[in-house]
Amino acid sequence: MYLRKDGAMPLTRKTRLSGSSIVVTIPSQLVEAYGINSGDFIEIIPLKDGEIKIKKLDGRKRSEGAA
């Protein structure tokens, strides 16, 4: 699959249940393109009309946002 750097190509994923949470996996194309690693912090931002923005946090923000 071809991934554009501007993120314009939509990718569809199916949710799954893991314990009492719903999980959405990140496609390997995005993991590689954005340098996402296991253990990284990801910010989930609810937008209008049912949209969600997902943003990788940098090292500085990780310690601020750690729970």
Q: Would you say the pTM of this structure is higher than 0.85?
A: no
Q: What is the domain extent for residue 54?
A: 16-61
Asked whether residue 21 is assigned to any structural domain, the reply reads yes
In this structure, what CATH number is given to the domain that contains residue 32?
2.10.260
Asked whether residue 38 is assigned to any structural domain, the reply reads yes
Q: What is the pLDDT of residues 1-56, one digit of tens each?
A: 445 666 567 788 999 999 999 999 998 888 988 899 999 999 999 999 888 999 99
Asked whether residue 11 is assigned to any structural domain, the reply reads no
Kindly state the tokens that stand for 49: 């009309």
Total structural domains within the chain: 1
- CA distances to 24, 59, 62 from 65, rounded to whole Å, are 20, 10, 5
DSSP state of 26: P
Asked whether residue 10 is assigned to any structural domain, the reply reads no
